[in-house]
Structure formats: structure tokens, C-alpha cells
């Protein structure tokens, strides 16, 4: 069984338990066993209340983030590591096992060209240090390939696998996202196969970030590819129903992703469970 997760952008623009908790009975009824925390500003997370909430509802937690645009992991790695340190602290305090997302760069920051050798070298040196810092908190560190419009550094599963092999840290994993894969991979089968040895987390997201099943994404091929590699980790719906202003620009989210935002939950979650079932996966 794969844990069924929900990125809380589907229901709230930030990690706001006053908005999230009233929806938990419904979400648990739909099989949700994990919530992803958008860790935009780590200092805003009430870790004690968050941990109590997770225990009360018996849900796993995984925070994720993208580095702020002011940071440069190659030129000023110390600043980026200083930003990650409180994020690692939040993960540890809420008893998460990992930090995911674009931990190697900024969402929406591109050079307009292929990454240079210097950029790759600098990113790898940074990830060596970031992985070591994460391990000091008992954490794994995810790196999420994103499409070419959001980063030029890591776009495909094979790119992420090569970076992990070069870095050599045993606590870095690949965090794939079907939205980005739909743009960048030759096929879901190729992307998941390339990432399989290091795959630790999966975002399932429609091609327009909206209601799963109402876009152009080939869900049968997607779920079959996940099943074929024997992946047993979390599968988390990410939809941009509500997005904090600090990240909306990088994601290019400026209009509603669904005519009826509630359909992302009410229609999308059952659709994903059924698509997974048809491929031989069980979400719950």
C-alpha cells in the first residue's frame, strides 16, 4: 500500500491549522494519511501544535520548500545552508522523516540556457553539505526535478539520479512530480524507471495543476509506471488551489486551476484512488 498524501495548497495558501483542521474528517474519509507542509517561512510554523494535530488525526507530515530567489547555492552556499537549518529544525520538531522540494535552487529562477559546469559543480558541493546537515537532524533530503520554465538545473528523473550519484550522500532521494514529468520526460515509464533507484516521494498533479482526470495527463500510463517499478512510498496530490504570494510568481499561478476548487478534493482524490487501483496500486 502507498500512503495517500495531499499537499495543503489544495485547501489553504499556507500551513494554517485553523483552515486545515475543519477539513480533516472529510480528508481522512477520502483516504488521506499524509499532509505536505509548504515550508515557505519556517519561523511561522507552530511545531508543537502541528505535532499534536498530526497525532490527533494520525497523519504523517512532510514539509517541502523551494529556496528563496535571493539565495545562490553556488556563489553563497553558507547563506542557503543557513536558510535550510531552521527548516530542518521544523521537520525534526514535527517528527517528519524528510524535507522535499526544490532544495537545490529557486522555483522560477532560470538562466535561459543549459546549466554550466560551474553551476552543476556548485550545486553538488552545496548538496553534499545540505545532506550532511539534514542527516544531523535525522532527515532525508529530497530533490525535485522541475520543468524548464521553473529551473534549468534539474529537469528530469535521469538528471536527478546523476546528481545523487555524483554527490554520493545516502540520505538524498528523488522527489518526482507528474506535472513536471508531463513536460520534460519522454514517457512516464522512462522517467520513473530512471529515478527508481533513488525515488522517495511522488507528487501526482494534473497537467494544468487542477482536478485530476480533467486535464491532458495520461493517468493510466502514470500509475502503471509507478506500479511497474515497485514503488511503495507516498503518492501525494499537489494542486495549486491556494498559493502563497511568495511562491505564486515562480509557479506562474495567476488564475484559478479549477472552476470549482472543491472538485480538486471531491472529484480528484477518488479519481486518483481508482486510477491507482486499475494499475494494481492501493492508496490509503
Nearest in space to 34 (alpha carbons), one of 74, 70, 66, 3:
3
Catalytic: which of 36, 119, 144, 206? 144
For 214, counting Cβ atoms within 10 Å of its Cβ (0-12 exposed, 13-18 middle, 19+ buried), the class is middle
Looking at residue 70, what is its pLDDT? 92
Q: What is the mean pLDDT of residues 234-242?
A: 85
Give the position of cell 520554465.
149
DSSP one-letter code for 22: G
In the structure grid, which three cell numbers stand for residue 130, read together?
545540505
Q: Is 111 exposed, middle or buried (0-12, 13-18, 19+ CB in 10 A)?
A: exposed
Q: Is 238 a catalytic residue?
A: yes
Between CA 213 and CA 79 the distance in angstroms is 41
| Overall average pLDDT of the 76-100 stretch | 97
Instruction: Say if residue 255's pLDDT is above 90.
Output: no
Q: Is 184 in a helix, a strand, or coil? A: helix
Q: How confident is the model at residue 241 (pLDDT cuts 50, 70, 90)?
A: low
Please answer whether residues 220 and 227 qualify as being in contact, where contact means their C-beta atoms are separated by less than 8 angstroms: no
Give the separation between CA 131 and CA 195, rounded to whole angstroms: 18
Percent of the chain with pLDDT over 70: 94
pLDDT in tens, 27-85: 999 999 999 999 988 999 999 999 999 999 999 999 999 999 999 999 999 999 999 99
Query: Average pLDDT in the 143-164 region?
Result: 97
Reported as type and span, the H/E element at residue 251 is helix 245-251
Q: Report the pLDDT value the prediction gives residue 284, as an integer from 0 to 100.
A: 86
Q: Which of 36, 119, 150, 238 is catalytic?
A: 238
How far apart CA 276 and CA 254 sit, in angstroms, is: 30
Average pLDDT over residues 16-34: 97
Q: Does domain 4-278 have CATH number 2.170.150.70?
A: no
What is the per-residue pLDDT for 249? Answer: 57
Which residues make Cβ contacts (< 8 Å) with residue 53, sequence separation at least 6? 17, 20, 21
Per domain, the residue ranges of the chain are 4-278
Please compute the mean of the pLDDT values over residues 84-89 and round it to a whole number: 97
Q: Is 55 a catalytic residue?
A: no
**What confidence tier does 280 reach under pLDDT thresholds 50, 70, 90?**
very high
Amino acid at each position: 500500500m502507498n500512503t495517500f498524501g495531499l499537499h495543503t495548497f489544495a485547501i489553504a495558501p499556507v500551513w494554517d491549522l485553523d483552515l486545515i483542521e475543519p477539513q480533516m474528517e472529510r480528508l481522512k474519509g477520502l483516504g488521506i494519511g499524509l499532509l505536505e507542509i509548504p515550508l515557505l517561512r519556517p519561523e511561522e510554523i507552530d511545531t508543537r501544535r502541528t505535532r499534536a494535530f498530526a497525532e490527533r488525526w494520525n497523519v504523517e507530515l512532510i514539509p517541502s520548500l523551494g529556496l528563496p530567489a535571493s539565495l545562490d547555492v553556488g556563489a553563497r552556499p553558507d547563506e542557503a545552508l543557513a536558510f535550510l537549518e531552521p527548516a530542518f529544525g521544523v521537520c525534526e520538531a514535527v517528527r517528519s522523516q524528510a524535507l522535499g522540494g526544490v532544495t537545490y535552487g529557486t522555483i522560477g529562477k532560470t538562466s535561459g540556457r543549459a546549466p554550466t559546469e560551474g553551476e552543476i559543480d556548485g550545486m553538488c558541493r552545496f548538496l553534499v553539505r545540505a545532506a550532511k546537515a539534514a542527516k544531523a537532524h535525522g532527515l532525508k533530503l529530497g530533490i525535485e526535478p522541475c520543468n524548464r520554465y521553473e529551473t534549468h538545473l534539474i529537469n528530469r528523473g535521469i538528471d536527478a539520479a546523476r546528481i545523487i550519484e555524483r554527490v554520493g550522500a545516502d540520505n538524498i532521494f528523488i522527489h518526482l512530480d507528474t506535472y513536471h514529468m508531463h513536460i520534460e520526460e519522454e514517457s512516464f515509464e522512462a522517467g520513473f524507471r530512471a529515478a527508481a533507484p533513488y525515488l522517495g516521494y511522488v507528487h501526482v498533479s494534473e497537467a494544468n495543476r487542477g482536478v485530476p482526470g480533467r486535464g491532458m495527463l495520461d493517468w493510466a500510463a502514470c500509475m502503471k509506471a509507478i506500479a511497474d517499478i515497485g514503488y511503495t512510498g507516498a503518492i501525494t496530490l499537489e494542486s495549486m488551489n491556494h498559493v502563497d504570494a511568495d511562491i505564486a510568481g515562480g509557479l506562474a499561478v495567476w488564475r484559478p486551476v479549477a472552476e470549482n476548487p472543491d472538485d480538486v478534493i471531491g472529484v480528484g482524490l477518488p479519481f486518483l484512488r481508482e486510477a491507482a487501483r486499475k494499475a494494481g496500486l492501493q492508496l490509503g
